[in-house]
Amino acid sequence: MSEIILVRHGQASFGQASYDKLSELGVSQVRHLSRHWNGLGETFDQIYMGSLQRQRETANELLMLAESNPPRSYVDDSFNEYNGDPLIRIYLRDFAASEGMKSDVKMPIRDERLFQRIFEKATSKWLCDQLVPNEDDSDFESWGTFKRRVYSGLDGIMSKYSNGSRTLVSTSGGVIATALQRVLNFPDEQVIQTNWMVHNSSVTRIRYGNGKMSVTQFNSLPHLEREGMTGLITYR
């Protein structure tokens, strides 16, 4: 059986002008994972990463564990996270006022509770294809398009690598949740619910072979779930 090991990027820079980079805590989370794997002698045949900065920074930190024999690395947009900004923007423009929400919210949203409330409503509309982009929303990606590209990226790895191959993928929570849907066939609504659960720098493993797929580990934090380290555990 072959294996895909999905790692969510370390904590990004929520509320900052540029979200798409690791915070100091995010770098620390990933380095702890790298050291943990190094201690176990973990090796990978290849590493894939999305093209987002936080995903590439995470991959580069993990590559440092194999300086003497680094795996082949590939950047693949299939593993990019969906862009939440246009979802929020369209929701605020077209739905917020009629649903009793403030519509004049300044972006980026720095209040985590307000962000969560708005984002949950926006993604709910997104899953039902109720968010309609206009000419100013060129960065919008429909749920169906996002789902198809994640499935395509996952299927591409499984068709290319077999015979016990181990592929590490540095990606994001929405991609990981959608990959789980590909394996477990749960409904679309559960993807977003699962997305909220995925910790920064967590590990999810999928085994495949002989026409079968299974999830053998989800959202694991062996590098942080130890005495004196739990304060490093974050969702955002």
Instruction: Report whether 13 contacts 19 (CB < 8 A).
Output: yes
Averaged pLDDT score across all residues of the chain: 94
Task: Please enumerate in sequence order all residues whose Cβ is within 8 A of that of 71, keeping only pairs 6 or more positions apart, or say none.
Answer: 43, 44, 45, 46, 47, 63, 168
Residue 105: per-residue pLDDT: 87
- Angle (nearest 5°) at CA 141 between 172 and 186: 60
| 37-58 confidence digits (pLDDT tens) | 999 999 999 999 999 999 999 9
Sheet holding 203-209: strands in order across? 72-75, 46-49, 166-171, 2-8, 203-209, 212-220
The residue type found at 108 is P
Give the DSSP letter of residue 164. T
| Percent of the residues in the chain that have a pLDDT greater than 90, as a whole number | 83
User: Exposed, middle or buried: residue 14 (CB in 10 Å: 0-12, 13-18, 19+)?
Assistant: middle
Residue 188: per-residue pLDDT: 96
Q: Which residues of 76-103 are buried (b: 16+ CB within 10 A; e: fewer)?
A: bebbbbbebbbbbbbbbeebbeeeeeee
Residue 66: per-residue pLDDT: 64
- Evaluate if residue 233 carries a pLDDT over 80: yes
Task: Please enumerate in sequence order all residues whose Cβ is within 8 A of that of 148, keeping only pairs 6 or more positions apart, or say none.
Answer: none
Considering only residues 192 and 18, tell me which one the structure prediction assigns the higher pLDDT.
Answer: 192
134-153 average pLDDT score: 97
Residue 67: per-residue pLDDT: 64
Instruction: Report whether 192 contacts 29 (CB < 8 A).
Output: no
The structural domains of the chain, with segments of one domain joined by +, span: 2-81+142-232, 84-127
- Evaluate if residue 15 carries a pLDDT over 90: no
186-214 average pLDDT score: 97
Q: Quickly state the pLDDT bin for 17 (edges 50, 70, 90).
A: low
206-231 average pLDDT score: 95
Residue 227: per-residue pLDDT: 86
| 60-86 confidence digits (pLDDT tens) | 999 886 666 789 999 999 999 999 999
Which among 160, 210, 207 has a CA at the least distance from the CA of 179? 207
Instruction: Report whether 172 contacts 8 (CB < 8 A).
Output: yes
Angle, in degrees to the nearest 10, between helices 53-63 and 24-40: 30
Paired strand residues for 3:
166, 207
pTM: 0.95
Looking at domain 2-81+142-232, what is its CATH homologous superfamily? Phosphoglycerate mutase-like (3.40.50.1240)
Q: Quickly state the pLDDT bin for 18 (edges 50, 70, 90).
A: confident
Instruction: Report whether 176 contacts 4 (CB < 8 A).
Output: no
Q: Quickly state the pLDDT bin for 112 (edges 50, 70, 90).
A: confident
| 79-106 confidence digits (pLDDT tens) | 999 999 999 999 999 999 999 888 888 8
Residue 44: per-residue pLDDT: 94
Tokens of 205: 């493993």
